Every structure is written in structure tokens, then in C-alpha cells.
Amino acid sequence: MSRSDLREEHNPIVEGVKTIVYALLIALVIRTFLFQPFNIPSSSMVNTLLIGDFLFVSKYSYGYSKHSLPFSPGLFSGRIFEAAPERGDVAVFKLPSDNSTDYIKRVIGLPGDRIQMIEGVLYINGEPVKLERIEDYVETNSQGEPIRSVPRYLETLPNGVTHQVLDEQVNGPYDNTGVYVVPDGHYFMMGDNRDNSTDSRVPGPRGVGFVPAENLVGRAEIIFFSTDGSARFWEVWKWPFAIRFSRIATTVD
């Protein structure tokens, strides 16, 4: 082996580039097939998820579609290794009206279900779900000071999954609806903050409508970071006070 070959083999620049390429490939594989990070930009899932939460979504939970890949290339249709979501899952999906915007909601209706809201109560296949009044949710500002209290309930779905929902308004805009019949291969999604969520109760393109199985991206699993938004990215000295340490490493139920 010549000296030039040795210099090329041990060139630190070449080795650095290789390391970066390998790291990017590993990150791409993890993001595509295992876990993808998402952040919460809206209050539609309060108090399960708060603005500023960062969470991991398991990509393998429902199998893989074109939306599992970056930029959703049309390489194939349908799902590979498909597994149906369970009622009550918190899932990320692509908005059906544009197939590119990420939404996160709770799976409420399965294919064939009849879904309706009557006076703020969720009905599934003609039966009201169980609602139990619990303590109010107290909304706070970035300084931790209370702003207002919102009525909060424990909702139990037919399969026994329980979660908390908020009811900000009496006779809110989506508290009384017609009957939605979920088509085959689709799901009915709702936010836990019932009066502040654009979801399957609102048909597209203005809303969400029924979500095709192909549009599912994955199931929300765990919150790995959370900030209340009181510190800008460059205000390093404020980060310890902006981080919601109590939410880190909590599972999404």
C-alpha cells in the first residue's frame, strides 16, 4: 500500500464525512421504521397533551404506509404489516384534505361505528359513554399563575379505556351533531379538549372528516421533553424555569 493510499484511508475529513453519513442513515431508519418525534402546537388535546410537549410516536404500531416515509412519496398504496388501532389510542395522522399536515387526536370511532354528540355527551353505536365529573382543569400562564378553570370529566370508552376530556362551553359548536357512520377502512378522531378541537366532527377540507387507515402515521407513546414556552431558544438561562420536568418521561394515555 502506498503512502498516498494510507493518507486517504486515514484522512480525518473523509472519516468525519463517513461518520455523519452513517449517523444520518441510522437516524433515517429509526425515524421511518421505529420512532418519530413530534411536538404539540395546539390545545386540542389538553389536558392529555399540552402546547410545548415533545413526544415520540411509534411508527410500527399500525404498520407502514407511504406516509411513514419522509415527504410521503407515492411508492405504494395501502399499508404493509397493517395493525388496526384500538379505540382510545392517541394517534398522529396526515390530514386527509392535503395528505401532508400532521394532526394528533384520539381514535374514537372504528369502521362501521355510529358516532354522535348529544348535549356534549359522546354516543357510540347508540349508547352514551360513561362520564364522571372530576376536579376542574386549571389553566395557567407562563408564570404558573391560574387564568381560569375548565370543567373536566373522566370518559370511559366501550372497551374500558379511560381518559380525561374538557368541556369549555355548554352547548358548544360540536356538542350536538348528526350521526356519523364510519366507512370501512376509516377512523373517527376527536380531541380531548372537545370544544376547542377541529376533528372528525368537522368534514374536510375545513375540518378533518373520516381518516383513512393509510393516513395513520403512528401511536403517541411517551413525552420526552416539555416546555411552557416562556423561554426563547436562545434564552438559555431561562430554560431551567421553562421546562415542565413533571411531564418528561410520562406515557401518553
pLDDT in tens, 242-252: 899 999 999 99
**How much is the pLDDT for 231?**
81
| 84-137 per-position pLDDT tens digit | 999 999 999 999 999 889 999 999 999 999 999 999 999 999 999 999 999 999
pLDDT at 176 exceeding the cut of 50: yes
Amino acid letter, residue 13: I
- Across all residues in the chain, what is the average pLDDT? 88
Q: Is 44 one of the annotated active-site residues of the chain?
A: yes
| 38-58 per-position pLDDT tens digit | 999 999 999 999 999 999 999
Q: Which of 59, 66, 105, 200 is catalytic?
A: 105
Q: Is 105 one of the annotated active-site residues of the chain?
A: yes
Helix (H) or strand (E) holding 38: strand 35-39
209-239 as b/e: b if 16+ CB within 10 A: bbbbbbbbbbbbeebebbbbebbeeeeeeee
pTM for the structure as a whole: 0.85
The three-state secondary structure class of 193 is: strand
Mean pLDDT for 68-93 is 88
The three-state secondary structure class of 215 is: helix
pLDDT at 6 exceeding the cut of 50: no
Mean pLDDT for 160-165 is 97
Q: Which of 44, 68, 200, 226 is catalytic?
A: 44
